[in-house]
Chain A
Amino acid sequence: MIGEAAGREGRVVVALGRRALSVQFRRAQLLMPTFVLPLMLLAVIASGTSVAQDLRGFPDVASYLAFIVPGTVIQGALLAGLTSGTALAADVEFGFFDRLLAAPVRRTSLVLGRQAGTLGLSLLQSIFFLAVAFAFGARYPGGVVAVLATIVLAAITAVGIGGIAGAIALRTGSLSLLQSIFPFVFVLLFTAPAFFPRELLAPALRDAAVYNPLTYVVEAVRGLLAGDATLGDPWAGLAAAVLLAVATTVLATFALSERLRTL
Chain B
Amino acid sequence: MSAPAAPSALHVALVLWRRSLNEVLRVRGALLPATVAPVVFLLGMTGQFGRLTGLEGFPTDSYMSWIVPLSCLQGAGFAGAATGSNLARDIEQGWFDRLLVAPVARPVLLVGPILGGVSRSLVPATVVLLVGLALGAELPGGILGLIALYVACAGFCTVAALWGVFMALMFRTQQAGPLMQQGVFLAVFLSTAYTPEVLLRGWLASVAHLNPVTYVLELARQATVSGIQPSFAHTWPGLVALVGMFVVLGALALLGLRRMGR
**Partner-B contacts on A (CB < 8 A):** 27, 29, 32-33, 36-37, 40, 44-45, 47-52, 54-57, 180, 182-184, 186-187, 189-191, 193-196, 200-202, 204-205
Q: Which of B192-233 contact A (CB under 8 A)?
A: 193-195, 199-204
Task: Find the A residue at minimum CB distance from B175.
Answer: A29
Q: How distant is the Cα of A47 from the Cα of B201 in the complex, in angstroms?
A: 7
Contacts known (A55-B55, A183-B37, A183-B40); A47 close to B47, Cβ less than 8 A: no
Residues in chain A near residue B54, CB distance under 8 A: 55-56
Q: How distant is the Cα of A196 from the Cα of B44 in the complex, in angstroms?
A: 11
Q: In the complex, identify which listed stretch (B3-11, B83-91, B144-152, B183-191) lies at the interface while the others stay far away.
A: B183-191
Residues in chain B near residue A47, CB distance under 8 A: 200-204
Contact residue among B40, B49, B195, B202 (Cβ-Cβ distance under 8 Å from A196): B49
Task: Find the A residue at minimum CB distance from B193.
Answer: A48
**Pairwise interchain contact A200-B193, C-beta atoms closer than 8 A:** no
Contact residue among A33, A51, A183 (Cβ-Cβ distance under 8 Å from B52): A51
Task: Find the B residue at minimum CB distance from A205.
Answer: B47
Task: Find the A residue at minimum CB distance from B202.
Answer: A47
Task: Find the B residue at minimum CB distance from A180.
Answer: B33
CB distance from A189 to the nearest CB of B (A): 7
| Pairs A-B, 9 closest by C-beta atoms | A190-B44, A47-B204, A48-B194, A205-B47, A44-B189, A202-B47, A51-B199, A32-B178, A196-B48
Contacts known (A51-B200, A180-B32, A183-B33); A33 close to B55, Cβ less than 8 A: no
CB distance from B160 to the nearest CB of A (A): 16
Q: Which of B45-78 contact A (CB under 8 A)?
A: 45-52, 54-55
CB distance from B175 to the nearest CB of A (A): 5
Task: Find the A residue at minimum CB distance from B51.
Answer: A200
Residues in chain B near residue A45, CB distance under 8 A: 194
Contacts known (A56-B54, A183-B33, A186-B41); A49 close to B47, Cβ less than 8 A: no
**Pairwise interchain contact B47-A44, C-beta atoms closer than 8 A:** no
B105 at the interface (CB under 8 A from A): no
**Pairwise interchain contact B47-A183, C-beta atoms closer than 8 A:** no
Q: How distant is the Cα of A119 from the Cα of B202 in the complex, in angstroms?
A: 36
Q: How distant is the Cα of A200 from the Cα of B52 in the complex, in angstroms?
A: 9
**Pairwise interchain contact A183-B195, C-beta atoms closer than 8 A:** no
Contact residue among A52, A184, A187 (Cβ-Cβ distance under 8 Å from B49): A52
Residues in chain A near residue B251, CB distance under 8 A: none
Residues in chain A near residue B182, CB distance under 8 A: 32, 36-37, 40
Residues in chain A near residue B204, CB distance under 8 A: 47-48
CB distance from A69 to the nearest CB of B (A): 15
Contact residue among A33, A52, A201 (Cβ-Cβ distance under 8 Å from B47): A201
**Pairwise interchain contact A194-B48, C-beta atoms closer than 8 A:** yes
Residues in chain A near residue B32, CB distance under 8 A: 180
Q: How distant is the Cα of A22 from the Cα of B32 in the complex, in angstroms?
A: 32
B139 at the interface (CB under 8 A from A): no
Task: Find the A residue at minimum CB distance from B39.
Answer: A183
B31 at the interface (CB under 8 A from A): no
CB distance from A100 to the nearest CB of B (A): 27
Task: Find the B residue at minimum CB distance from A58.
Answer: B51
Contact residue among A33, A182, A189 (Cβ-Cβ distance under 8 Å from B44): A189
Residues in chain B near residue A29, CB distance under 8 A: 175, 178
**Pairwise interchain contact B49-A195, C-beta atoms closer than 8 A:** yes
Residues in chain A near residue B41, CB distance under 8 A: 186
B36 at the interface (CB under 8 A from A): yes
Q: How distant is the Cα of A48 from the Cα of B46 in the complex, in angstroms?
A: 14
Q: List 13 A-B contacts (CB under 8 A).
A: A29-B178, A44-B189, A47-B203, A48-B200, A49-B195, A50-B201, A51-B199, A52-B51, A55-B51, A56-B54, A183-B37, A187-B40, A190-B40
Q: How distant is the Cα of A55 from the Cα of B49 in the complex, in angstroms?
A: 11
CB distance from A66 to the nearest CB of B (A): 15
**Pairwise interchain contact A55-B52, C-beta atoms closer than 8 A:** yes
Contact residue among B36, B40, B49 (Cβ-Cβ distance under 8 Å from A49): B49
**Pairwise interchain contact A40-B48, C-beta atoms closer than 8 A:** no
Residues in chain B near residue A205, CB distance under 8 A: 47-48
Report which residue of A51, A57, A196 has the largest number of chain B beta carbons within 10 angstroms of its beta carbon. Answer: A51
**Pairwise interchain contact B52-A52, C-beta atoms closer than 8 A:** yes
Q: How distant is the Cα of A45 from the Cα of B52 in the complex, in angstroms?
A: 13
Contacts known (A44-B193, A49-B195, A187-B40); A204 close to B47, Cβ less than 8 A: yes
Contacts known (A50-B202, A54-B55); A190 close to B190, Cβ less than 8 A: no
Q: How distant is the Cα of A81 from the Cα of B45 in the complex, in angstroms?
A: 23
Residues in chain B near residue A40, CB distance under 8 A: 182, 185-186, 189
Q: Which of B12-56 contact A (CB under 8 A)?
A: 32-33, 36-37, 40-41, 43-52, 54-55
Task: Find the A residue at minimum CB distance from B50.
Answer: A202
